[in-house]
Structure 1
Amino acid sequence: MLTILGLSLLGFLLIGVPVAIALGASSMLAVALASHVPLLVIAQKVFQGMNNFSFLAIPLFLLAGSLMSEAKISERLVALANLMLGRYPGGLANVATTSSAFFGSISGSAPATTAAVGSVMIPSMVKRGYRPEDAAATVAASGALGLIIPPSLTMVIYGVISGVSIGQLFINGILPGIMLTCALMSLNYFLAKRKHRKNNTVQEVVEDKGKAKEIIRSSLLALLMPVIIVVGIYSGVFTATESAAVACLYGLLLGVFVYRTLSWRGLFNAFKSTVTNTAVIMFLMACANALAYVITAERVPQQFAMWIVGVTDNPVYVMLLMLGLLLVVGTFLDNVSALVLLVPTLMSITAAVNIDPLYFGVFAIIALAVGQFTPPVGLNLFIAANIAKQKVETVSIAVLPYLFVYIAMLLLFVFVPSLLVFTQWF
């Protein structure tokens, strides 16, 4: 049964069948051709894959991010970042990185962050003397922070699959998110110094004190959303699912009554994109549950875990092996698909060598985020290249320094795991 499952899944993916359909169809073929289990079981597993109350957080977080995007929050956050960093070497690049961190903490989506910040920053960076491919690379790599800095949709999905507390994932994603942002900003500064780029900022933003105060006031209101979510979950005021509803209400109030930038058309677009993305994610989760049933029935996770433990039971070496696997898989699959495919199996390995599932969850999310800006299917890469009107191949070369920074930080997290579970310090 496992042979039929593997060959059919690979065949479907090679001919371009969507991942969700490939998962469901290969599971049906394996059960129909190599077992005596009725196909009705697959239908039951598909339904069970969606029948989870925690999944309610997925459309709510998607809606919150869409509302903030339609309210054009990104422009306010870019103005705030420019106010703080625009005057220094590599200033505009660091504005792009910081704006991505700000907006990523609101949207929870890497492609949304790249599109929102890139549409504002890439033309500005090119106008100020950056090469188009460098501007696109900066935004593409920085956009991956949207998956790491909480509240993150990827963390919600990992928490549901693994049973790890979503609130704890959110809390422990803060420090690595800040560290990665600082690492990217350091690289931007170094590249600016090395290439002798002098970036002139929009001076009136700095000199007009009244305008500066307005920028800070309006931007901080948007930045309060992730703070409310994280503090509310950690203090026990509401659950992760309830926090998503709070985020939607907060985004709606800001867009309609405070900023007054959310029109009826924008509201319709927000609901439309939420429905579309939710349907895609839920269908993927449902079909992945059917695949997980077949894999579990064949005891693949247990056998794979025994093989890994037979090679080494050192947690550091195991994490290095899984880092390589996650980086490779992330280049071919989107983060949601990779999570639903790999987490059940990899959790068996972490349990066998006593790796904290909370630590592994934050680590896996960061590692898979790298795939958002690496070829051949890195969505951030395509979005940024399209905005900059550059070939993806050209931007792929320019993004290499950022790739090395992410890998270096991941290696640091392997050898210093406490950085990803800093709540255990207290």
Structure 2
Amino acid sequence: MSPLVIVDAGLLTLLLIIGVPVPFCFAGAVLLLMIFGDFGAASFLIGAGYSKLSSVVLVAIPLYILAGGIMGSGGIAGRLVDLADSVFGRLRGGLGIVVILATAVFGAISGMASSAVAAIGTIMIPRMEERGYDRGYATSLVAASSVLALLIPPSASMILYGWVTGTSILACFLAPVLPGLLLCLALGSWNYVLTRKMPLTVQPPATRREIGFEVISRAKRAGAGLMMPLIILGFIYGGVTTPTEAAAVAVVYAIPISIYLYRDLNWRDLSEVIWRAGQTTGVLMVLIFFAAMLGRIWTLENVPQQIMEGFLTVSANPVVLLLMANLFLMVVGMFMEDVSGILLAAPLLLPVVTRAGVDPIHFSAIVATNLGMGLITPPTAPILYFAALIGKANLASMLKPSIIFVLFAYLPVVLLTTFVPALSMWLPNLILGQ
């Protein structure tokens, strides 16, 4: 590996550590190579960036972001929370289960962990505190659950992974589903354990008939919102639409539901939602542009092959290679959100894991679970910090439950996903015949 590339990787790491916004970190790394390297005309590298941005697959990402914004502002997210609360709210620790389920559903539709934190956290953290939950714990649980957005389809992260690696996006949607369900179960179990000594208050007991009526009533109110993920996935796997077209269907469906049926959103509010989605999309497009340029340069410098050779000098054992790849992914996730991590890590590590006999579809689930764990792993933990801002919680009070979630919920799921390929491959094999 050339000294300039090593310096460039060091610069990228340094900028990330000191807290420079991620798109500018990639831009700085690209500018260093353009100024001091010999990679031909600048137009060659700029063309590499623009060629990536011109992909129709990327249109799905801003559409899912917009759909998630409409859900959060249009009352759909709140009604999903109320429905889950009617089912689990009378159980001790039931609000924690509500957080896990609501965040998984909302994150799946919006496709981004940060969107799930913002939408569900603002609703659930104050409600949990009112019922006796420690605010730091509630915020930590929201952060840990939000990472399910990477695993439950349709996921923006899996769209990017499929696009970057040339893997079937439909298969990538399916691969992390079973790991995601396992993670829901693990988080729910630890929620029960960690809340046993909290002075929780639960809803007063009711008869089965009363509970049934309440669930049916709230299901009717939330029914239109609940149909949204079913419609999206039904259209995709039924062959009616592509994932990009399904994202457009999600937006078209969410607007009349929020404005005319639920009436929690008006046209002026919608313009603000569109503006915020546009800002987020703009940041992502800048990031993808510079990441594509950096990837082109590193490919010219044979960085992926040199990383593989470096791993092989340690060991050619497939188990060791996978453990090193997992460690690499977790560290990347600690410094970047999932989009940046996938753009950087997936092309670099794919030759390594392919050498270890891992199918690219299986690797999509490995990437999703590892980056998700990195997002909430101290000391960097970008999603943990974002949740602390949303929940107005003391970060110190969040560390203990976060570490428990990482070590005893995420890490077992990561290892199972890595070393039990059937966990990731069963659904793609069953539905798509991969």
Task: Tell me the distance in 2 between the aligned counterparts of 1:26 and 1:383.
Answer: 25
- Does residue 266 of structure 1 match 2:269? yes
Shift of 1:296: 0.8
Partner amino acid for 1:33? F
Task: Tell me the distance in 1 between the aligned counterparts of 2:138 and 2:39.
Answer: 56
Task: Tell me the distance in 2 between the aligned counterparts of 1:385 and 1:229.
Answer: 31
Conserved? CA contact 1:122–1:136, under 8 Å: yes
Conserved? CA contact 1:59–1:275, under 8 Å: yes
CA deviation profile, 1:209-257 (whole Å, cap 9, x unmatched):
5443221123232122222222222221111111111111111132123
Equivalent residue for 1:185, pick from 172, 176, 188: 188
CA deviation profile, 1:303-332 (whole Å, cap 9, x unmatched):
211232343333333222111111122111
Correspondence list, 1:22-421, <5 A: 22-35=25-38, 37-193=40-196, 195=197, 197-201=199-203, 207=210, 210-404=213-407, 405-421=409-425
Partner amino acid for 1:345? L
Given the superposition, is the C-alpha separation of residues 273 and 40 from structure 1 closer, same or farther in structure 2, using an over 3 Å criterion? Answer: same
Conserved? CA contact 2:109–2:154, under 8 Å: yes
Task: Tell me the distance in 2 between the aligned counterparts of 1:280 and 1:256.
Answer: 28
Conserved? CA contact 1:145–1:177, under 8 Å: yes
Shift of 1:423: 2.3
Partner amino acid for 2:74? A
Secondary structure, aligned partner of 1:167: helix
Unaligned runs of 5+ in 1: none
Secondary structure, aligned partner of 2:53: coil
Shift of 1:284: 0.6
Shift of 1:144: 1.5
CA deviation profile, 1:75-111 (whole Å, cap 9, x unmatched):
1111111111122222121122122122222222212
Shift of 1:407: 0.8
Give the share of equivalent positions with the same residue, in percent: 34
Given the superposition, is the C-alpha separation of residues 390 and 11 from structure 1 closer, same or farther in structure 2, using an over 3 Å criterion? Answer: closer
Task: Tell me the distance in 1 between the aligned counterparts of 2:378 and 2:9.
Answer: 24
Conserved? CA contact 2:92–2:202, under 8 Å: no
Task: Tell me the distance in 2 between the aligned counterparts of 1:58 and 1:36.
Answer: 31
Equivalent residue for 1:422, pick from 417, 426, 429: 426
362-371 or 237-246, larger mean C-alpha shift: 362-371
Task: Tell me the distance in 2 between the aligned counterparts of 1:303 and 1:379.
Answer: 29
213-222 or 267-276, larger mean C-alpha shift: 213-222
Task: Tell me the distance in 1 between the aligned counterparts of 2:149 and 2:258.
Answer: 20
Shift of 1:271: 0.6
CA deviation profile, 1:175-218 (whole Å, cap 9, x unmatched):
2222211111111122234x265531266898365443221123
Unaligned runs of 5+ in 2: none
